[in-house]
Amino acid sequence: MEPFEKPIMVTRPLFPDLERYYAQLESVWESKWLSNNGPKHKELEAKLKSYIKATNISLFNNGTIALMVAVQSLRLQGEVITTPFTFPATTHVLAWNNITPVFCDIHPERLTIDPQKIESLITAKTTAILATHVYGIPCHVEEIQDIANRHGLKVIYDAAHAFTTEYKGRPIAEYGDISMFSFHPTKLFHTGEGGALVYNDPNLKERIEYLKNFGIKNEEEVILPGINGKMGELQASLGLEVIELVLEEQEKRRKIRKGYIDLLASVKTVVPLLMPSDTTNSYQYFCVRIESSTTPGDRRNKIFDALKVNNVFSRKYFYPLVSEYPCYKGSPTSSSGNLKEATEVSNEVLCLPFYGDLSFEDQKAIVRIIEDAS
C-alpha cells in the first residue's frame, strides 16, 4: 500500500464558512470593540450557557487559564489529589498555584481517577480533588462527591474533552464545584483558543469574573491579584459560527466511530474504548487500547510508527504520564508502583484520526495499516 499522499492528522478543527465569519467581523468592526466583555462575548456566553445547560458560565482566553482561575476562586492550597493520566495543563495549574499534586491511580475501565484509591491519599493538607473526564468518559462523579463531602474537599473537573457530555441524564458540569471546558482548535467546539468555567454556585461568579480581569472592580479599585483570562471578540465571533456546526459534526463522528468499531472487530489486540452506560458521547476522540506483547507499549508503538510511515499521525494521548515528567517525578506519589493501572494504560492507548471529513475509504486504509502492524 502507498502512503497517504496528504497527511492524515489526529484531528481537524471545524472551519465555518468564511463569508459567515466575515459577517461576524463586520459587526465587530462597526462596534469598535475588541475585548473586555464585548457584545460577541456576551452573545456567545449566553448561547453556550443554554447549549451545554450550564447554571453559571464564564468564558476565558484558554482552558488552562480558566483552570488556574478555578483553583484560585476556591482558594485551594496545600495538596490536591489528581490523575496522572491527563494533559500537562491539569497538573501544571496546581504547580502554578503552589499546590502539591498528589497522584492517584486510575480506574482500569474508565481511565479516570479511581475513587477507591482517593481516600488513602487524603491528609490534613488536602483541599480538593481535581479529576479529568478523559476522552469525555465521565469520572465516577457520585463516589467522588461522596468522598469530598465526607472530608470537606472541593471538586474540580477538567472537562476539556467533555463538551455536551451528559451523565445519568444530567449535564456533566452539574457534578462537582467547577468544571473547565477547553475551546482549543483541537476540540470539537472551539474559538481558535478559548475555554470556560461552569459552576453551580452563583456566588462564585463575582470572584471568577474579578480573577479573570486583573481583580479590577472599577477605575480606582483593584480588589485582588487577578490575571488576564478574557476571551476577545474575534475568538467569540469564531465561536458563534463554530457552534452552529457542532451537531452535524457530532453526527458525522458518530458514524466514523461506528465505522472504526466495525472495521477493528477483526483485530483482536486493538480494542476501542467504550463509554459507560448512561453517558452521551461528545465524540471528542476515538481511542483504542492495544495490548502489549512482550515489553510495555511494544505493539502500540509499532502501530503508531507504521501509521506515521504511511503519513497518518495518531497520538499517544496520554503518554508519558504527567507523574513521569521531570518536574513531578521525584514526588512521593509519582512512583509507578502506586500508579500501576495508569502506567499500563499509558503504554497501551492510541488516539486515531477522528474528524467529520475523514472518509470511510481512509478509515479502511488506516485499519489495514493497523492490522498489518499488530
Report the residue number, 11 or 323, with the smaller CB distance to ligand T4K.
Answer: 11
Shortest separation between residue 187's beta carbon and ligand T4K, angstroms: 7
Nearest to 176 by CA among 285, 250, 80: 80
- Among the listed residues 8, 70, 89, 369, the single contact to ligand T4K using CB under 6 A: 89
Nearest to 60 by CA among 226, 243, 241: 226
Q: If binding is defined by CB under 6 A, does position 322 make contact with ligand T4K?
A: no
Q: If binding is defined by CB under 6 A, does position 62 make contact with ligand T4K?
A: yes
- Among the listed residues 24, 165, 182, 334, the single contact to ligand T4K using CB under 6 A: 182
Pairwise CA distance, residues 266 & 49, whole Å: 42
Report the residue number, 153 or 160, with the smaller CB distance to ligand T4K.
Answer: 160
Residue at shortest CB range from ligand T4K: 63
At residue 207, φ and ψ (nearest 5 deg) are -65, -40
Shortest separation between residue 208's beta carbon and ligand T4K, angstroms: 17
CB atoms within 10 A of CB 323: 24
Report the residue number, 110 or 269, with the smaller CB distance to ligand T4K.
Answer: 110
Shortest separation between residue 246's beta carbon and ligand T4K, angstroms: 17
Q: If binding is defined by CB under 6 A, does position 325 make contact with ligand T4K?
A: no
Report the residue number, 93 or 269, with the smaller CB distance to ligand T4K.
Answer: 93
Nearest to 90 by CA among 328, 331, 340: 328
> Would you put residue 346 in left (φ > 0), alpha (ψ -120 to 50) or beta?
alpha
The site map against ligand T4K for 7-36 (x = CB under 6 A) is --xxxxx-----------------------
- Which 227-266 residues touch ligand T4K, going by CB under 6 A? none
Q: Which residues of 194-220 are buried (b: 16+ CB within 10 A; e: fewer)?
A: bbbbbbeeeebeebbbbbbbbeeeeee
Pairwise CA distance, residues 235 & 220, whole Å: 29
Segments in the chain forming alpha helices (H): 18-31, 39-51, 63-73, 88-96, 141-151, 204-211, 233-242, 246-264, 298-309, 326-329, 340-346, 360-373
Shortest separation between residue 99's beta carbon and ligand T4K, angstroms: 16
Number of residues located near ligand T4K, criterion CB under 6 A: 24
Segment lying near ligand T4K (by CB under 6 A), choices 15-23, 28-36, 82-90, 272-280: 82-90
Residues that bind ligand T4K (CB under 6 A): 9-13, 62-64, 86-87, 89-90, 132, 158, 160-161, 182, 184-186, 195, 313, 315, 317
